Amino acid sequence: MTHLPADHPPVKRPRVGVLLANLGTPDGYDYWNMRRYLSEFLSDRRVIDYPAWKWQPLLQTVILAKRPFSSGKNYKLIWNHEKNESPLMTITKAQTAALAEELPEVMVDFCMRYGNPSTESKVTAMVEAGCEKILFVPLYPQYAGATTATANDAFFMALTKQYRAPAARTLPEYFEHPDYIAALAESVQEAWDGLDEKPDVLVASYHGMPKRYLMSGDPYHCKCQKTTRLLREKLGWEKDAIHTTFQSVFGPEEWLKPYTVEYVAELAKQGKKHIAVVAPAFSADCIETLEEIKGEIAEAFEHAGGERFTYIPCLNERPSHIRALAAIIRNELGGWI
């Protein structure tokens, strides 16, 4: 290295990179920012698998003519106006900074599957910084084709753009890792201990997907059910103390059931006056938790006769969550550091 020819490009010190990945966020809540973001998201064949000739005309001419307005209004309700970014962006930045402190021996950065910063831009930045090995970390505890797999797709595609492609690994699902379950249980117990009146039941609400995906082999549904069971066992609660539901239904076909918005209304009709909801599939609070759960789902419960609705935040940058992720990541870096 000390005897390079004068015209040789600089050779950087070899590094190991850890690239965190989350779903994504629009750059703003105005119509055009929302349209660009939704077009990228809803054009992903892992998310909507209809044939392009059938889906794209409907998406571009009908859905994207209206949906950016309604989605933009929802984002505006939760927007971090001080930093001019979505809560997901704010939290992901905090998670990245915290993990960088926990893992000083590697370069830690983050990307988004949709929107900015893109996976390709961050892979390029890591390679330019000298990363010859990259561990890609989709921040989804439970595997699903529409989350983990499509994030990995973008990562692998980004690698094809590099002249010097780094060695690469991807972090597998971690929903049953003891440290993750312990952090999740800690957040629930902390919320429970802070309430003067204990909820009648805890609802574990996971992002939904078409039932057809389950029947085609996607294991997400089973991983969610197991997450709820492991959480209940860690808390030492009775079987009927936690209920598993699915939210964010989109389109006309049947999705995984029971639907959260309908289920909480039914609980209210059954006489449950106080319920709590936790979202174990989300590593960071976002539009689906801050607007959908705390807004639409809470309203459905109250309109059906419920009196008190408690939302338990995602793990976000909780110290126990960061320590769990660091332990999981360090294990996957075996042989590299």
Q: Are residues 38 and 82 in the same domain?
A: yes
Nearest to 154 by CA among 138, 130, 131, 173: 138
The helix (H) or strand (E) run that includes residue 33 is helix 31-42
Q: Are residues 186 and 305 in the same domain?
A: yes
Q: Are residues 47 and 192 in the same domain?
A: no
Instruction: Give the mean model confidence (pLDDT) for residues 285-291.
Output: 98
- Report residue 335's pLDDT band, with 50, 70 and 90 as the boundaries: very high
Report the sign of the C-alpha dihedral through residues 256, 33, 77, 66, in that order: negative
Instruction: Give the mean model confidence (pLDDT) for residues 16-37.
Output: 98
The helix (H) or strand (E) run that includes residue 88 is helix 87-102
- Report residue 4's pLDDT band, with 50, 70 and 90 as the boundaries: low
Give the chain's mean pLDDT: 96
In a domain, 10, yes or no: no
Prediction pTM value: 0.94
Task: Write out pLDDT tens, residues 181-210.
Answer: 999 999 999 999 999 999 999 999 999 999
Q: Are residues 183 and 306 in the same domain?
A: yes
Provide the pLDDT for residue 264. 98
Task: Write out pLDDT tens, residues 31-56.
Answer: 999 999 999 999 999 999 999 999 99
Provide the pLDDT for residue 96. 98
Expressed as residue numbers, the domain containing 184 is 178-312
Q: Are residues 169 and 183 in the same domain?
A: no
Task: Write out pLDDT tens, residues 220-276.
Answer: 999 999 999 999 999 999 989 999 999 999 888 999 999 999 999 999 999 999 999
Q: Are residues 37 and 164 in the same domain?
A: yes
Q: Are residues 199 and 274 in contact, defined by beta-carbon separation less than 8 angstroms?
A: yes
In a domain, 6, yes or no: no
Q: Any long-range contacts for 162-166 (C-beta under 8 Å, 24+ apart)?
A: 162/123, 162/124, 162/127, 164/127, 164/132, 166/17, 166/126, 166/127, 166/131, 166/132, 166/133, 166/134
Which residues does residue 25 pair with via DSSP β-bridges, in sequence order? 115
Residue 12 has pLDDT above 60, yes or no: yes
In a domain, 54, yes or no: yes
Q: Are residues 28 and 95 in the same domain?
A: yes
Measured distance CA(43)–CA(113) in Å, rounded: 12
In a domain, 77, yes or no: yes
Provide the pLDDT for residue 11. 64
**Six-digit token string for 190:** 């902390």
Instruction: Give the mean model confidence (pLDDT) for residues 78-90.
Output: 98
Provide the pLDDT for residue 251. 86
Q: Are residues 336 and 135 in contact, defined by beta-carbon separation less than 8 angstroms?
A: yes
Measured distance CA(256)–CA(220) in Å, rounded: 10
For residue 299, give the amino acid letter: E
Residue 1 has pLDDT above 60, yes or no: no
Tell me the CATH number at 212. Answer: 3.40.50.1400
- Outline where DSSP puts E strands in 107-241: 107-115, 131-138, 167-170, 201-207
Q: Are residues 169 and 31 in the same domain?
A: yes
Measured distance CA(62)–CA(251) in Å, rounded: 13
Note if the bond before 117 is cis, omega within 30 degrees. Answer: yes
User: Which has more confidence, 83 or 9?
Assistant: 83
User: CA-based angle 209:329:41, to the nearest 5?
Assistant: 30
Measured distance CA(176)–CA(229) in Å, rounded: 10
Percent of the chain with pLDDT over 90: 94
In a domain, 288, yes or no: yes
**Six-digit token string for 300:** 């459905």
Measured distance CA(220)–CA(227) in Å, rounded: 11
Percent of the chain with pLDDT over 70: 97
Q: Are residues 59 and 208 in the same domain?
A: no
> Residue 49: CB partners within 8 Å, gap ≥ 6?
none
Q: Are residues 132 and 145 in the same domain?
A: yes
The alpha carbons of the chain give a radius of gyration, in whole angstroms, of 21
In a domain, 8, yes or no: no
Provide the pLDDT for residue 14. 83
Q: Are residues 99 and 315 in contact, defined by beta-carbon separation less than 8 angstroms?
A: no
In a domain, 5, yes or no: no
Q: Are residues 142 and 156 in the same domain?
A: yes
- Report residue 10's pLDDT band, with 50, 70 and 90 as the boundaries: low
Residue 104 has pLDDT above 80, yes or no: yes
In a domain, 218, yes or no: yes
Give the number of other CB atoms < 10 A from CB of residue 120.
17
CA distances from 270 to 200, 266, 299 (A): 11, 6, 16
Q: Are residues 276 and 300 in the same domain?
A: yes
Question: Domains in the chain: how many in total?
Answer: 2
137 HSE (CA, 13 A, CB side): 26
